[in-house]
């Protein structure tokens, strides 16, 4: 079931419910610039056998409103959007899975709305203090391709760029199927009705994020998934995030990078379900 939910003046979000309508709710929060369709179908299918799933497109992504240039916002506003989705769907308490920037938003939910979260799962997520000083830097190949993220491209060139980007994000351990990611991005472009990338989330305000010291007081059960081949945030970040949180458990998915393939989807779902089924709302 699809919804269009108003979260702020000038912004409406595309939201989709699937899975078991009678199961415990699970909100999926994707990363920067990524549509809710980025979650692997294999993962959605496995999670949906146990949960009422809710996924959505952030502002300036997919089928949601694109208006950053006229109506700029902060990343904290994106966290507030998640709460407004829960309110609109009459969900009092939910499990939350956050990927990348979505994990940062989930950290904000843990701090500001702990009563709404049964559990949290964080994948490929930067800690609120930026991470450990001794952690490896971001892959230079990734930094280089990010410099071209907002350059104008036709649809085919944009698809090529996105597949190259996913190949780097995948890391060097798990197999990478370029045709799988091309098909997914073709579906996302069709879903959005456009192929450009304004990089709105990279330009969004970052005020209100320096709250790492508060994470120690979190009592909500948190699962931190370590993605050891992640070219952005690898094992050092996951371990550091686990030490910051007051009630965290760390699980490693061998070979996982920053790209979620269909092949790794069932394994991720299994790890997440072990966490959520232990702590049902």
Strands 52-56 and 11-19: antiparallel
| Structure confidence at residue 171 (pLDDT) | 96
Q: How confident is the model at residue 132 (pLDDT cuts 50, 70, 90)?
A: confident
Q: How confident is the model at residue 279 (pLDDT cuts 50, 70, 90)?
A: confident
Average pLDDT over residues 233-249: 94
Q: What is the pLDDT of residues 8-64, one digit of tens each?
A: 999 999 999 999 999 999 999 999 999 999 999 999 999 999 999 999 999 999 999
Average pLDDT over residues 75-104: 98
**Cα 102 versus chain centre, distance:** 4
Average pLDDT over residues 80-109: 98
| Structure confidence at residue 49 (pLDDT) | 97
Provide Rg for the chain, Cα atoms: 17
- Whether the predicted pLDDT of 89 surpasses 90: yes
The answer to whether the Cα torsion of 280, 49, 125, 255 is positive or negative is positive
**pTM for the predicted model, two decimal places:** 0.97
How many helices and strands (H and E) does the chain possess? 9, 8
Neighbours of 242 (CB within 10 A): 18
**Sheet (strand 11-19) strand order:** 2-8, 11-19, 52-56, 25-29, 94-99, 117-123, 222-226, 248-252
Of the listed ranges 78-92, 132-146, 199-213, the least confidently predicted one is 132-146
- Rounded Cα distance between 264 and 261, Å, is 5
Q: What is the pLDDT of residues 142-184, one digit of tens each?
A: 999 999 998 999 999 999 999 999 999 999 999 999 999 999 9
According to DSSP, residue 74 is labeled B
Among residues 64, 100, 227, 261, the one annotated as catalytic is: 100
Q: What phi and psi, each to the nearest 5 degrees, are found at residue 42?
A: -65, -35
Instruction: Just give the CATH number of 2-276.
Output: 3.40.50.1820
- Whether the predicted pLDDT of 281 surpasses 70: no
- Look over the chain and give the mean of its residue pLDDT values, rounded to a whole number: 96
Among residues 57, 81, 226, 230, the one annotated as catalytic is: 230
| Structure confidence at residue 274 (pLDDT) | 97
Q: Domain residue spans in the chain?
A: 2-276
Neighbours of 43 (CB within 10 A): 23
- Whether the predicted pLDDT of 253 surpasses 80: yes
| Structure confidence at residue 251 (pLDDT) | 97
Contact 22, 49 (CB under 8 A): no
Active site residue 100: yes
């Amino acid at each position: 079931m699809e919804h269009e939910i108003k979260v702020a003046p000038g912004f409406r979000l595309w939201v989709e419910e699937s899975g078991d309508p009678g199961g415990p709710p699970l909100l999926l929060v994707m990363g920067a610039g990524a549509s809710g369709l980025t979650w692997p179908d294999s993962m959605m299918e496995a999670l949906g056998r146990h949960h009422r799933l809710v996924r959505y497109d952030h502002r300036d992504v997919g089928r949601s409103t694109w208006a950053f240039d006229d109506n700029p916002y902060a990343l904290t506003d994106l966290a507030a959007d998640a709460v407004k989705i829960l309110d609109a769907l009459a969900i009092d308490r939910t499990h939350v899975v956050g990927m990348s920037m979505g994990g940062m938003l989930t950290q904000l939910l843990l701090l500001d709305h702990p009563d709404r979260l049964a559990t949290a799962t964080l994948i490929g997520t930067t800690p609120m203090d930026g991470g450990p000083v001794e952690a490896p830097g971001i892959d230079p190949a990734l930094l280089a391709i990010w410099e071209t993220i907002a350059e104008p491209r036709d649809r085919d060139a944009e698809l090529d760029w996105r597949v190259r980007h996913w190949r780097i994000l995948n890391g060097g351990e798990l197999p990478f199927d370029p045709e799988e990611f091309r098909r997914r991005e073709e579906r996302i472009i069709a879903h959005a009705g456009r192929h450009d990338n304004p990089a709105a989330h990279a330009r969004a305000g970052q005020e209100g994020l320096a709250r790492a010291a508060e994470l120690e007081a979190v009592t909500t059960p948190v699962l931190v998934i370590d993605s050891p081949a992640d070219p952005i945030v690898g094992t050092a970040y996951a371990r550091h995030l686990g030490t910051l949180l007051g009630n965290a458990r760390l699980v490693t998915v061998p070979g996982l990078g920053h790209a979620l393939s269909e092949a790794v989807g069932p394994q991720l779902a299994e790890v997440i379900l072990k966490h959520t089924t232990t702590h049902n709302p």
